[in-house]
Amino acid sequence: MNNSTGGGKHRREPDRLSNESFAELPPEPNSQTGEPFPPEAPHYTGPDLPGGQERKPMTGAPPRQANPPDGMGPALAWRQYGAKEGVRGYFWALAILIVGITIVVFLQYHEFDWFLSWQIWLIIIVGAYLMSDPLARQTISAGADWVQWKRRPKWYQRRRDRGTFLKIYRLTKIEGYGAGAVLYVRIVDEDGRGIDRTRTELHPDRRIWDLMYNGIQHSIANGCEINSLAVEMLHLENSPALRLREARDDG
């Protein structure tokens, strides 16, 4: 899924500057302490912080799946998805398939008798499972300069690395694109690691998104390629990052 849509690209490839050069952007946090913690990123749509928790680095020992990548600072925020989220995701997928099939059959045949077909119900049940993977256990974590997704491997995947991390201040490409009726953002860092996520999937936790958004802004100011759809999806229109890059290019 790599076909890009949504307007032209803003592309610059200047020499990388230190992050201290971008006085108009919030500074990069200290890799060990997370201070100063980035300000709130705009248009966050994820869950609120649990009662009483502040928008600052989390305390306590992170789960094993939130261990930082080699050579990176400690995890500052993390969120785990367990059985509860898996069951909820399965029923959402089930509802989407039922509604979708009902609409398609009604528009084509003006009937609802597909409900009596056990073969279609079998497809729906299996399809919802494949769409939602309700038994998966995922941990999303972030440090001052990295973000990481890790899935607990299934019994037959014990030897596979199910983790993906990005250096969020060293991104080289951010691309919005459509796949069917869903919009995705593909994000790649300087080492070629990449992730494809919906905007909702980028908002697992207020603190994780704040850390990530600050890195995205600095990467853009440093020449990260981004297309117009990604600018719109991530609400970067009012960020000084694009203007900083343009000014550097003109200079």
In tens, the pLDDT along 138-179 reads 899 999 999 999 876 554 445 444 568 999 999 999 999 998
Is 75 inside any structural domain?
Answer: yes
Q: Which residues of 217-226 are buried (b: 16+ CB within 10 A; e: fewer)?
A: bbbbbbbbbb
Residues 75, 161, single domain; the answer is yes
Instruction: Give me the domain span that covers residue 90.
Output: 85-132
The total number of structural domains in the chain stands at: 2
In tens, the pLDDT along 31-54 reads 999 999 999 999 999 888 877 788
Q: Of the residues 132, 153, 169, which one is the last residue of a structural domain?
A: 132
Residues 62, 89, single domain; the answer is no
- Cβ-in-10-Å burial (0-12, 13-18, 19+) of 84 comes to exposed
Residues 180, 226, single domain; the answer is yes
Q: How far apart are CA 169 and CA 163, in angstroms?
A: 19
Residues 21, 95, single domain; the answer is no
Q: What is the largest distance, in Å, between two alpha-carbon atoms of the chain?
A: 68
Is 137 inside any structural domain?
Answer: no
Structure tokens at 16: 């990388």
Residues 63, 113, single domain; the answer is no
Is 167 inside any structural domain?
Answer: yes
Q: Is the pTM of this model over 0.85?
A: no
Residues 165, 189, single domain; the answer is yes
Residues 192, 244, single domain; the answer is yes
E-assigned strands of 112-236? 138-142, 146-151, 163-167, 171-179, 182-189, 194-197, 225-227
In tens, the pLDDT along 84-124 reads 666 777 788 888 889 988 988 888 888 888 888 888 899 99
Is 3 inside any structural domain?
Answer: no
Residues 68, 154, single domain; the answer is yes
Q: How far apart are CA 38 and CA 40, in angstroms?
A: 7
Return phi, psi of residue 10, to 5°: -100, 110
